[in-house]
């Protein structure tokens, strides 16, 4: 079994370069299915979710050439099947984007029900509502979601909940539909804008991405393109919080500071210094840090994908903070792990009350999901003693080279294998 071993309380110092956005990449790669040409995509993060998505396309008949570790050239014109019934599909939430992309191209799609991080019920009713507005019917049989129609015709779709995945899927299904589709109450996340820009670079006619009303005028043909994915907002935010939690001073490069505004605002409220430059932010700690209340919300609100990481920081600031998780039903399971390191967090439904403590103490914890795992790393970097993090496959799904990047900032973190299990400190 692989684990991370961290010897904590070393302030992070130096520079770190942020990779391309995971959640943009896992939408843009399946979007290539809609292209009538070859797509060269740069700034692709080298992470397991992306490798898996590219592999799924290959299994379906696409050619995926890795030009270098962050550039893929994908030719999906040879895909002839509308079915993505593979074991791997089930393990990734973003595989639901294959529904929209295959429906858009073949007017029918069959895809296994999505998996991904487990933090409550993850319905796809809004995705299906969108497909049905475009004329498609659906059924669920033997774990497969099937959608089909004779032809896709644009219409107005009002989303009952703001959903990133449903917004993306409706864009994918409608980009080659007849007429105009309007998505009202659309999600506004940076990766939705990135997907729209990618499709527009192929000749799509999408306007309003980044607002809550997106208009898609259907086109018949999408040419190939060269496109570079935006930097990862959540990876950047994770390093910002790690720098703060260790009392460090880190220049975080290759970011879009505008995408980080809600994270920057909360860090400043806590007392962290954040200096913004054109394509980088510097995070440093120059005084005491104190409590702050946070409510997660769809973009431009504070991202739910930063909630566990900021909770790790709030565990060691002065005073009592409250986090209200308003996006997911059950995203506080990791707090039991943080409490094992000495944090004082009590959870009631979607509210967590975090009483700041003087310090966390290293022990053995689990990465329950991707962002929960990032929170364990932050806690381990800030804690006294040694922290062992198990189930790191969740972390490696979404953070490129996290060990190397942290080591370059001075952290003492190492990936170890089970024979080193005996090094677990006596306190355990
Ligand atoms: N929802 C519905 N019906 C639907 C779809 C969603 O009720 O048909 C609800 C969900 O249950 C949830 C809320 O709407 O309560 C938001 O879900 P959304 O659809 O926006 O989430 P998602 O598309 O499944 C993406 C990210 C998640 C991130 C959420 C929210 C990707 C691949 N995943 O998931 O990212 O937490 O948006 O911002 O883009 C991560 O990167 O760690 C991660 C989990």
pLDDT over 70 at 115, yes or no: no
Q: What percent of the chain is predicted at pLDDT more than 90? A: 88
- Rounded to the nearest whole angstrom, what is the distance from the C-alpha of residue 411 to the centroid of ligand 1? 32
Whole-number pLDDT of residue 86? 66
**Burial class (CB within 10 angstroms; exposed 0-12, middle 13-18, buried 19+) of 153:** middle
Residue 97 vs residues 16, 211, 237: alpha-carbon distances, Å: 31, 21, 25
Residues marked active site are found at: 117
Q: What is the pLDDT of residues 116-138, one digit of tens each?
A: 555 556 789 999 999 999 999 99
The DSSP H or E segment spanning 333 is none
Q: Quote the CA–CA distance of 271 and 249 in Å, as a whole number.
A: 14
Q: What is the pLDDT of residues 370-386, one digit of tens each?
A: 999 999 999 999 999 99
Residue 358 vs residues 289, 319, 341, 383: alpha-carbon distances, Å: 11, 10, 12, 10
Q: What is the pTM of this model?
A: 0.96
Supply 41's token pair: 């995509």
Supply 155's token pair: 């219409």
Strand intervals (E) in 113-199: 137-141, 144-148, 156-158, 180-184
Lowest-confidence pick of 53-57, 59-63, 91-95, 147-151: 91-95
Q: How many of the other CB atoms lie within 10 Å of CB of 70?
A: 19
In degrees, to the nearest 5, what angle opens at C-alpha 300 toward C-alphas 292 and 244? 40
DSSP characters over 295-321: EB-STTSB-GGGHHHHHHHHTTSBSEE
Q: Quote the CA–CA distance of 155 and 138 in Å, as a whole number.
A: 17
Whole-number pLDDT of residue 119? 55
Contact 57, 34 (CB under 8 A): no
Whole-number pLDDT of residue 118? 59
Number of H helices, E strands in the chain: 13, 24
Mean pLDDT of 166-175: 98
Beta bridge partners of 6: 387, 413
Q: Which atom of ligand 1 is nearest to the CA of 93?
A: 32
Q: What percent of the chain is predicted at pLDDT more than 70? A: 95
129 in ligand 1 pocket by Cβ < 6 Å?
no
Q: Which atom of ligand 1 is nearest to the CA of 22?
A: 41
- Rounded to the nearest whole angstrom, what is the distance from the C-alpha of residue 156 to the centroid of ligand 1? 21
Q: What is the pLDDT of residues 320-365, one digit of tens each?
A: 999 999 999 999 999 999 999 999 999 999 999 999 999 999 999 9
Q: What is the pLDDT of residues 245-295, one digit of tens each?
A: 999 999 999 999 999 999 999 999 999 999 999 999 999 999 999 999 999
pLDDT over 90 at 90, yes or no: no
Mean pLDDT of 381-403: 96
In degrees, to the nearest 5, what angle opens at C-alpha 224 toward C-alphas 221 and 226? 140
- Rounded to the nearest whole angstrom, what is the distance from the C-alpha of residue 163 to the centroid of ligand 1? 6
Q: What is the pLDDT of residues 186-220, one digit of tens each?
A: 999 999 999 999 999 999 999 999 999 999 999 99
Q: How many of the other CB atoms lie within 10 Å of CB of 222?
A: 23
Q: Quote the CA–CA distance of 142 and 154 in Å, as a whole number.
A: 30
């Amino acid at each position: 079994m692989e684990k991370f071993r961290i010897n904590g309380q070393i302030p992070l110092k130096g520079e770190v370069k942020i990779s391309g956005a995971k959640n943009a990449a896992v939408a843009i790669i399946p979007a290539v299915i809609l292209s009538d040409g070859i797509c060269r995509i740069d700034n692709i993060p080298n992470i397991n979710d992306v490798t898996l998505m590219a592999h799924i396309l290959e299994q379906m008949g696409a050619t995926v050439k890795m030009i270098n570790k962050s550039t893929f050239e994908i030719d999906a014109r040879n895909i002839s099947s509308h079915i993505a019934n593979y074991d791997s599909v089930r393990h990734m939430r973003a595989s639901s984007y294959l529904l929209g992309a295959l429906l858009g191209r073949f007017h029918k799609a069959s895809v296994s029900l999505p998996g991904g991080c487990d933090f409550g019920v993850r319905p796809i009713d809004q995705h299906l509502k969108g497909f049905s507005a475009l004329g498609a019917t659906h059924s669920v049989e033997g774990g497969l979601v099937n959608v089909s129609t004779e032809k896709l015709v644009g219409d107005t779709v009002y989303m009952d909940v703001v959903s990133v995945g449903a917004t993306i899927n409706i864009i994918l299904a409608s980009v080659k539909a007849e007429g105009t589709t309007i998505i009202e109450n659309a999600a506004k996340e940076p990766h939705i804008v990135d997907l729209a820009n990618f499709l527009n670079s192929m000749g799509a006619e999408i306007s309003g991405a980044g607002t809550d009303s997106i208009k898609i005028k259907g086109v018949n043909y999408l040419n190939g393109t060269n496109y570079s994915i935006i930097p990862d907002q959540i990876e950047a935010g994770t390093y910002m919080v790690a720098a703060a939690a260790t009392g460090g001073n880190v220049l975080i490069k290759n970011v879009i500071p505008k995408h980080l505004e809600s994270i920057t605002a909360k860090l400043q409220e806590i007392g962290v210094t954040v200096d913004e430059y054109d394509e980088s932010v510097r995070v440093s700690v120059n005084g005491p840090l104190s409590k702050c209340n946070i409510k997660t919300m769809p973009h431009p609100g504070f991202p739910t994908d930063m909630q566990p990481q900021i909770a790790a920081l709030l565990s060691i600031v002065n005073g009592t903070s409250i986090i209200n998780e308003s996006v997911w039903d059950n995203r506080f399971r990791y707090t039991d792990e943080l409490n094992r390191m000495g944090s004082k967090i009590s959870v009631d439904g979607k509210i967590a009350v975090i009483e700041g403590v003087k310090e966390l103490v290293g022990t053995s914890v689990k990465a329950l999901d991707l962002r929960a795992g990032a929170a364990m790393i932050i806690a381990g970097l800030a804690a006294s003693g040694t922290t062992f993090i198990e189930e790191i496959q969740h972390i490696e799904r979404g953070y490129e080279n996290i060990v190397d990047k942290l080591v370059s900032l001075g952290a003492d973190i190492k990936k170890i294998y089970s024979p080193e299990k005996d090094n677990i400190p006596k306190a355990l």
